[in-house]
């Protein structure tokens, strides 16, 4: 009896609703299908509305990445309306984006990911007791510190945007606020709270500057063994326990990576255009196919709907060429999915025809690109780690956490660059046109495409990082990144398939997961039963 069926519904701790169909053989996943199980129809709501409606509506597409949606929505309008952006506005938008991402790092690690390391699956491992003591939900010592500290960076967002989540302070032409000295000094102070309450004291066990000296995996290991403070930090524990628990052994994925990059340089994007965007990013954009780097040209994106619950459009269209999505309600039986036909509310986006992973791992790979310019991140670490270890749950988590120090330093630098005598907003002229705005949400590449006609929104298309990562098969049967990453995963206890959860959570997908398991030979969904 080699074949197993498994129904995990839902997995949880990822946002929204996602089902995954898993084919297993001898307890190992041989194939998987991801299924987004909820539709909200935001593009339909935006059609025909005020051009600026996206500033209010799209942050509410995702409460976790609301600032990132705002960054895209305002940029797309900047391009369409041909605005002029003062340097201060670009700095304050970057500070907002970066604060949201910095918030997400400890919040995601402790509240979403690390509680799984305290799962009984790992009870026989030597480090298990220590992991439970620190990472167990609510009671873990580090869980409390990390979740509490995660609220700090968004206080900086609130100083400039009023509140987090769900501000709309980035508007075409700049930002709404005109901060004062007291806002800047408060922001510096709050940043230091974050460093003292968590980043250096709990996570690193050393200074930010010491950590940033690490250039390779060997450096990382040397750092780990340098002293007890490093070994016993949460990062030290994660490095030791992550390897001991075998997190580097599963969740590989498609091995191709896409980043739009973000943080538009204050002096390089004052006249926003589609073409001028990528060179102006500080966190660099790019597509890496496992060997070579390519430009992340937005023209290379296409979306497939063969396996998506949408109709009235062709496969493989660029967002500007796609209609507002029409849900396919007629023939499809939504609760008994046909995995050979349509089975997800997510479309399947492809870049240059490939399924690509987005997220922190993609970003740190782009940061290792030797061709990066002086104003961009240049960090060889993950070039080395990818060559030595390849992608896995472990490398993905490490990449996420690695970003904290660099983002911290950048926010500090940008705060210093704000010119309090300069402009913050230049009122634009409203006009019809097309625009594109993109960024890196904490969990990956996000972009908005807008078309304005007769003074209202004619078309609005969003491709979220999770759409890339959890999208279904495309028309050629090419699986999405999480679908691919689940393959080969060994599931020890089908009643508690924590491994599947860990793979999905390592992508930090914004969808609640459900896993259906299926008979590998017939492909039929078996009757549900508890194992």
Taking CB under 8 A as the criterion, which residues in 45-104 touch other proteins? Answer: 45-46, 49-53, 55-57, 60-64, 66, 89
Residue 151 to residue 419: CA distance in whole angstroms: 27
Contact flag: residue 142 with other proteins (CB under 8 A): no
Residue 64 to residue 430: CA distance in whole angstroms: 30
State which residue, 137 or 352, has the beta carbon closest to other proteins: 137
State which residue, 292 or 495, has the beta carbon closest to other proteins: 495
CB 150 within 8 A of CB 401: no
Question: What would the two tokens of residue 3 be?
Answer: 């074949």
CB within 8 Å of 133: residues ≥ 6 apart: 140, 141
Among 253, 385, 514, 518, binds other proteins (CB under 8 A): 514
For residue 423, the minimal CB distance to other proteins (Å) is: 7
Angle at 463 between CA 460 and CA 467, to 5 degrees: 140
For residue 256, the minimal CB distance to other proteins (Å) is: 28
Binding letters toward other proteins, positions 224-263, x by CB under 8 A: ----------------------------------------
- Please give the C-alpha separations between residue 206 and each of 132, 236, 499, in angstroms, as whole numbers: 23, 11, 31
For residue 32, the minimal CB distance to other proteins (Å) is: 15
CB within 8 Å of 124: residues ≥ 6 apart: none
C-beta neighbour count of 75 within 10 angstroms:
29
For residue 1, the minimal CB distance to other proteins (Å) is: 20
Contact flag: residue 420 with other proteins (CB under 8 A): yes
Contact flag: residue 524 with other proteins (CB under 8 A): no
CB within 8 Å of 203: residues ≥ 6 apart: 106, 146, 233, 234, 235, 401, 404
Residues of this chain, 4-33, that bind other proteins according to CB under 8 A: 6-13, 15-17, 19
State which residue, 167 or 358, has the beta carbon closest to other proteins: 167
For residue 529, count CB atoms less than 10 angstroms from its CB and return exposed for 0-12, middle for 13-18, buried for 19 or more: exposed
Please give the full DSSP string across 305-358, using - where no structure is assigned.
Answer: -TTBSEESS-SSB-GGGPPSPEE--SS--TTS--TTS--BSS-EEEETTB--B-
Contact flag: residue 409 with other proteins (CB under 8 A): no
Among 182, 275, 292, 527, binds other proteins (CB under 8 A): 182
Contact flag: residue 499 with other proteins (CB under 8 A): no
Contact flag: residue 445 with other proteins (CB under 8 A): no
Residues of this chain, 282-341, that bind other proteins according to CB under 8 A: 327, 329, 334-335
For residue 270, the minimal CB distance to other proteins (Å) is: 15
Contact flag: residue 135 with other proteins (CB under 8 A): no
Closest to 35 measured CA to CA, from 393, 483, 350: 483
Residue 85 to residue 222: CA distance in whole angstroms: 45
Name the segment binding other proteins (CB under 8 A); options: 21-29, 248-256, 484-492, 493-501: 493-501
Residues of this chain, 145-164, that bind other proteins according to CB under 8 A: 147-148, 150-151, 154-155, 157-164
State which residue, 289 or 525, has the beta carbon closest to other proteins: 525
Contact flag: residue 207 with other proteins (CB under 8 A): no
Residue 372 to residue 366: CA distance in whole angstroms: 8
Contact flag: residue 167 with other proteins (CB under 8 A): yes
Torsional sign, CA 437, 438, 443, 444 = positive
Please give the full DSSP string across 261-319, using - where no structure is assigned.
Answer: -EEE-TTT-SS--HHHHHHHEEE--EEE-SS-EE---GGGEEEE-TTBSEESS-SSB-G
Strand partners, 24: 4, 29
State which residue, 3 or 111, has the beta carbon closest to other proteins: 111
Name the segment binding other proteins (CB under 8 A); options: 185-193, 247-255, 396-404, 435-443: 185-193
Among 26, 196, 207, 273, binds other proteins (CB under 8 A): 196
Token match 């495309």: residue?
A: 474
For residue 164, the minimal CB distance to other proteins (Å) is: 6
For residue 122, the minimal CB distance to other proteins (Å) is: 14
State which residue, 11 or 367, has the beta carbon closest to other proteins: 11
Q: How many residues bind other proteins (CB under 8 A)?
A: 110
State which residue, 5 or 379, has the beta carbon closest to other proteins: 5
Contact flag: residue 193 with other proteins (CB under 8 A): yes
C-beta neighbour count of 335 within 10 angstroms:
6
Question: What would the two tokens of residue 10 be?
Answer: 């839902």
Among 102, 190, 411, 450, binds other proteins (CB under 8 A): 190
Among 165, 236, 444, 480, binds other proteins (CB under 8 A): 165
For residue 106, the minimal CB distance to other proteins (Å) is: 11
């Amino acid at each position: 009896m080699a074949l197993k069926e498994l129904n995990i519904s839902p997995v949880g701790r990822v946002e929204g609703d996602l089902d995954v169909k898993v084919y297993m053989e001898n307890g190992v996943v041989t194939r998987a299908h991801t299924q987004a199980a909820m539709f909200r129809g935001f593009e339909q709501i935006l059609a025909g509305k005020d051009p600026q409606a996206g500033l209010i509506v799209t942050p509410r597409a995702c409460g976790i990445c609301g600032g990132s949606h705002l960054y895209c929505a305002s940029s797309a309008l900047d391009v369409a309306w041909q605005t002029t952006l003062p340097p201060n506005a670009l700095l304050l938008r970057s500070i907002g984006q970066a604060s949201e991402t910095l918030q997400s790092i400890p919040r995601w690690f402790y509240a979403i990911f690390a509680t799984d390391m305290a799962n009984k699956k790992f009870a026989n491992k030597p480090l298990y007791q220590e992991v439970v003591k620190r990472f167990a939900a609510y009671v873990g010592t580090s869980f409390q510190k990390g979740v509490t500290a995660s609220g700090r960076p968004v206080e900086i967002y609130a100083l400039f945007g009023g509140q987090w989540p769900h501000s709309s302070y980035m508007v075409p032409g700049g930002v709404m606020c005109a901060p004062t000295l007291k806002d800047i000094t408060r922001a510096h102070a709050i940043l230091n709270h974050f460093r003292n309450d968590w980043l250096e004291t709990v996570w690193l066990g050393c200074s930010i500057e010491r950590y940033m000296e690490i250039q390779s995996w060997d450096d990382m290991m040397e750092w780990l063994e340098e002293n007890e403070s490093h070994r016993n930090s949460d990062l030290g524990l994660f490095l030791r326990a992550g390897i001991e628990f075998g997190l580097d052994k599963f969740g590989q994925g498609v091995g191709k990576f896409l980043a739009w990059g973000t943080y538009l340089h204050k002096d390089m994007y004052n006249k926003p255009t589609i073409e001028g965007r990528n060179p102006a990013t500080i966190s660099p954009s790019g597509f890496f196919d496992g060997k070579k780097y390519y430009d992340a040209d937005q023209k290379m994106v296409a979306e497939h709907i063969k396996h998506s619950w949408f109709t009235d459009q062709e496969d493989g269209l660029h967002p500007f060429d796609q209609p507002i999505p029409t849900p396919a309600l007629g023939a499809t039986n939504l609760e008994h999915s046909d995995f050979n036909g349509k089975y997800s509310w997510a479309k399947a986006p492809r870049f240059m025809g490939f399924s690509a992973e987005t997220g922190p791992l993609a970003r740190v790979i782009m940061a290792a690109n030797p061709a990066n310019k002086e104003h961009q991140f240049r960090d060889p670490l993950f070039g080395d780690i990818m060559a030595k270890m390849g992608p896995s749950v472990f490398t993905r988590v490490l990449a996420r956490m690695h970003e904290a120090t660099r983002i911290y330093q950048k926010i500090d630098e940008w705060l210093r660059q704000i010119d309090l005598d300069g402009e913050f907003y230049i009122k634009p002229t409203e006009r019809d046109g097309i625009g594109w705005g993109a960024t890196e949400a904490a969990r990956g590449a996000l972009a908005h495409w807008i078309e304005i006609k007769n003074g209202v929104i004619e078309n609005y298309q969003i491709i979220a990082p999770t759409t890339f990562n959890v999208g279904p098969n495309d028309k050629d049967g090419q699986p999405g990144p999480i679908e691919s990453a689940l393959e080969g995963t060994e599931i020890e206890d089908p009643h508690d398939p924590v491994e599947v959860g860990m793979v999905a959570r390592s992508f930090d997908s914004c969808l609640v997961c459900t896993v259906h398991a299926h008979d590998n030979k017939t492909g039929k969904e078996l009757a549900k039963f508890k194992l």
